[in-house]
Amino acid sequence: MSLHSVPNRARLGLGTAQFAEPRGRGGEAEIRAILDTAAPAGVTLVDTSAAYGDAERALGRSWPFPSPFSVITRSVRLSEGLDRLEHRARRSLERLGIARAEGLLVQSAEDLHGPDGPALWARLERLKGEGLFQKIGFSAHAEDDPATLARRYNPDVVQVPVSMLDQRLVADGTLDKLAAQGVEVHLRSVFLKGLLFMDREALPACLTHAGPRLSRIRRMLAESGADPLQAALSFAMDRPEASAVIVGVASAAELRAVIAASYQPAPRLDWAALSLEDRTALDPRQWVSTAA
């Protein structure tokens, strides 16, 4: 049974940021094991980034042949310059060992808000016109107002953080607006950096104040008989606006657990009651900056 055969569910995709960590969390043998686990289950969308050149090279050496995988990659920041950004996008294809990719996303939507945003977008359109990327789009945070950017640039794909804990873009109608514009919506950070699974004692110092709320959420899940992994996946994959849900794993065993959980029926939960409102907790970028 393939995930594609499950009706009305988003496509499950594989994030690869962990592949760039020291020693590749097990090296290329583990990457090949992850890919060998993903393909038979229909997990054939792979999300990578030019910022993780080592991960791209490792993937390029690990694809099965012929490869069933479709690749979405992301640009470097505009601060490196338009020519450098274009060069790195082309270089990503070389590292990955592919002639073309399914998509290219602007790494940070903040770059599109700036005065050079139109020039940046024109550069992506040129790469798409050359046939190097089938789709173009951007990766955004909740604060980036992705629906407004989508109206301005008419992207094929928008990637945004949405999770059971972070429901802001559901509650404010952003996902509805993106879907209404015909945008392919990819959800990322569906486990919010593992926050749901952290023991209270393991929380970063800047998040200790969120501990009681997280404990209550875990208790509500337990009282409903819901597994946290299954609940988090169900919330994301059952979003009607979503086309894909990107999950990051560090091992084939983790991926097998995710795939198994994705096949389970959605638990009956009061989703709104399971969200966090704390902005620091909802933005992992602040976990480090506020940790001191």
Q: Which two tokens stand for residue 231?
A: 């609940």
Query: Over 80: is that where the pLDDT of 229 sits?
Result: yes
The residue among 111, 175, 171 whose CA lies nearest residue 138 is 111
Q: Are 252 and 33 in contact (CB under 8 A)?
A: yes
Query: Over 60: is that where the pLDDT of 24 sits?
Result: no
Q: CA 31, 36, 39, 40 torsion: positive or negative? A: negative
289 in a domain, yes or no?
A: no
The residue among 164, 165, 163, 185 whose CA lies nearest residue 174 is 185
Could you list the beta-strand ranges (E) of 16-168: 45-47, 70-74, 101-106, 133-139, 157-161
Domain that holds residue 271: 3-200+228-275
Query: Over 70: is that where the pLDDT of 189 sits?
Result: yes
pTM of the model: 0.90
Query: Over 80: is that where the pLDDT of 22 sits?
Result: no
Structural domains counted in the chain: 1
291 in a domain, yes or no?
A: no
Per-residue confidence band for 100, with pLDDT thresholds at 50, 70 and 90:
very high
**pLDDT single digits (tens) 102-111:** 999 999 999 9
Question: What distance in Å separates the CA atoms of residue 212 and residue 190, rounded to the nearest whole number?
Answer: 21
Q: Among the residues of 101-145, which ranges form H helices?
A: 110-113, 117-129
109 in a domain, yes or no?
A: yes
**pLDDT single digits (tens) 130-162:** 999 999 999 999 999 999 999 999 999 999 999
The residue among 195, 86, 106 whose CA lies nearest residue 146 is 106
281 in a domain, yes or no?
A: no
217 in a domain, yes or no?
A: no
CATH number at residue 182: 3.20.20.100
285 in a domain, yes or no?
A: no
211 in a domain, yes or no?
A: no
